[in-house]
Amino acid sequence: MAQDIYLTGITTTGTPHIGNYVGAIRPGIEASKDLSTQHFYFLADYHSLAKNEDPKKIRQSTLEIAAAWLALGLDTDHATFYRQSDIPEIPELTWILTSMTAKGLMNRAHSYKASVQANLEGESKDPDKGISMALYSYPVLMAADILMFKSTKIPVGQDQKQHVEMARDIAGRFNHHYGEVFVLPEPIISDDTAVLKGLDGRKMSKSYNNTIPLLADEKTLRKLIMKIRTDSLAPEEPKETRDNTLFDIYRAFASTEEVEQIAQRYTQGIAWGEMKQLLFETINAQLKDAREDYLRLLAEPTLVEEELLKGAKKARDLATPYLRKIREAIGIRPLG
Ligand code: TRP
């Protein structure tokens, strides 16, 4: 069997938080240590345009996300780590795929439908309000990301599963029409335990403003952990571990034995203050070294830039000849 190729994109909106770490960065770095498979990780900065129109924020987010992956130990010699906008073949392939994408397929995208629904329920009643073509064709650009590198396995959150299926549909339709050019990808969905809760107990997400930044300084980290919402049970009262935000976050950072011990302490009635202190110490111990590297990279963005250009070179060495083949297949060829 051919070697599996893993590929995943990270949209450059916002500062990486511990939910991104547990759900994507840590498993991504871990998986990339498997030398029997290939790994592509990239910053989806063209995707971020659909949600973020502030140039300063896009640049800052790109820098912070790239620096975080590097500081946490991604091996960029094995994994290919690049910025989407450094690969001009991707937007070019996007247009080619657009011609093989049914408008009806795009109409069915959950994220687009949710925006339309919100508009219909809003004041203006205009279904198209604030919906750009970038938001509408978002899945086509994502299909180009995926198909460009013949990737077979796409690790994504549940919310992106449909987009990967659409990439598969588009590739299938293309192959049916022009011959076997694309490899059909399949989504790999992380289980729910990889979804971390935020300060208020809802899913940790920048849209809820309830995140703990991944490489925040010690003071900020401690302050935010102290803010995590708890109930008002007194220190000695027994407590439930189920659906408990502090426990859930702790579990994402501690060993099985440590988790068992703390579960014990819950039944005995650990004080929330003590649990928060313990959580702070556990997370801090794990991230301390990476935080130093991270701050160094933020202060020297050229080091990050160099890494991304190295990745772009590796990616383009694959994309350029493949795009030539794709253009050949659709009849865009030299005349003589
Ligand atoms: N849309 C994805 C997200 O918001 C990011 C992304 C862009 C992606 N291109 C991709 C993920 C290709 C996997 C494969 O999370």
Q: For the residues 51-74, what does the mean pLDDT come to? A: 95
Query: What one-character DSSP code corresponds to residue 254?
Result: S
pLDDT bin (cut points 50, 70, 90) of residue 281 is very high
pLDDT bin (cut points 50, 70, 90) of residue 2 is confident
Ligand 1 in contact with 20 (CB < 6 A)?
Answer: no
Ligand 1 in contact with 8 (CB < 6 A)?
Answer: yes
Ligand 1 in contact with 142 (CB < 6 A)?
Answer: yes
Ligand 1 in contact with 160 (CB < 6 A)?
Answer: yes
Question: Given ligand 1 and candidates 142, 170, 186, which is best to mutate, with the most ligand atoms within 8 Å of its CB?
Answer: 142
| 7 alpha carbon – ligand 1 mean position (Å) | 9
Question: Given ligand 1 and candidates 147, 160, 161, which is best to mutate, with the most ligand atoms within 8 Å of its CB?
Answer: 160
Q: For the residues 104-123, what does the mean pLDDT come to? A: 95
Residues paired with 82 in a beta bridge: 42
Q: Measured between alpha carbons, how far is 149 from 1 in angstroms, rounded to an integer?
A: 17
pLDDT bin (cut points 50, 70, 90) of residue 194 is low
Q: For atom 4 of ligand 1, which residue has the closest CA? A: 11
Higher pLDDT, 308 or 123: 308
Q: For the residues 240-251, what does the mean pLDDT come to? A: 94
Ligand 1 in contact with 246 (CB < 6 A)?
Answer: no
| 41 alpha carbon – ligand 1 mean position (Å) | 10
Q: How much of the chain exceeds pLDDT 90, in percent?
A: 90
Between β-strands 186-189 and 153-156, what pairing exists: parallel, antiparallel or unpaired? Answer: parallel
Instruction: Map tokens 């992956």 to a residue.
Output: 69
Q: Measured between alpha carbons, how far is 17 from 273 in angstroms, rounded to an integer?
A: 22
> Mean pLDDT across the chain, nearest whole number?
95
Query: What's the pLDDT score for residue 1?
Result: 62
Ligand 1 in contact with 24 (CB < 6 A)?
Answer: no
Q: For the residues 268-277, what does the mean pLDDT come to? A: 96
Residue 84: burial class (beta carbons within 10 Å; 0-12, 13-18, 19+): buried
Query: What's the pLDDT score for residue 157?
Result: 87
State if pTM tops 0.75. Answer: yes
| 239 alpha carbon – ligand 1 mean position (Å) | 38
Among the listed residues 108, 186, 94, 107, the one whose alpha carbon sits nearest the alpha carbon of residue 148 = 94
Q: How much of the chain exceeds pLDDT 70, in percent?
A: 99
Ligand 1 in contact with 156 (CB < 6 A)?
Answer: yes
Question: Given ligand 1 and candidates 10, 17, 148, 153, which is best to mutate, with the most ligand atoms within 8 Å of its CB?
Answer: 10
Query: What's the pLDDT score for residue 192?
Result: 59
Among the listed residues 179, 178, 183, the one whose alpha carbon sits nearest the alpha carbon of residue 148 = 183
Ligand 1 in contact with 49 (CB < 6 A)?
Answer: no
Instruction: With a cut of 60, say whether residue 193 has pLDDT above it.
Output: no
32, 37, 43, 49: CA torsion to nearest 10: -140
| 109 alpha carbon – ligand 1 mean position (Å) | 14
Ligand 1 in contact with 47 (CB < 6 A)?
Answer: yes
Between β-strands 38-44 and 5-11, what pairing exists: parallel, antiparallel or unpaired? Answer: parallel
Ligand 1 in contact with 153 (CB < 6 A)?
Answer: no
Question: What is 84-145 written as a DSSP string?
Answer: GGG-THHHHHHHHHHTTS-HHHHHT-HHHHHHHHHHHHSSS--TTTT--HHHHTHHHHHHHH
Residues paired with 156 in a beta bridge: 189
Question: Given ligand 1 and candidates 5, 6, 7, 8, which is best to mutate, with the most ligand atoms within 8 Å of its CB?
Answer: 8
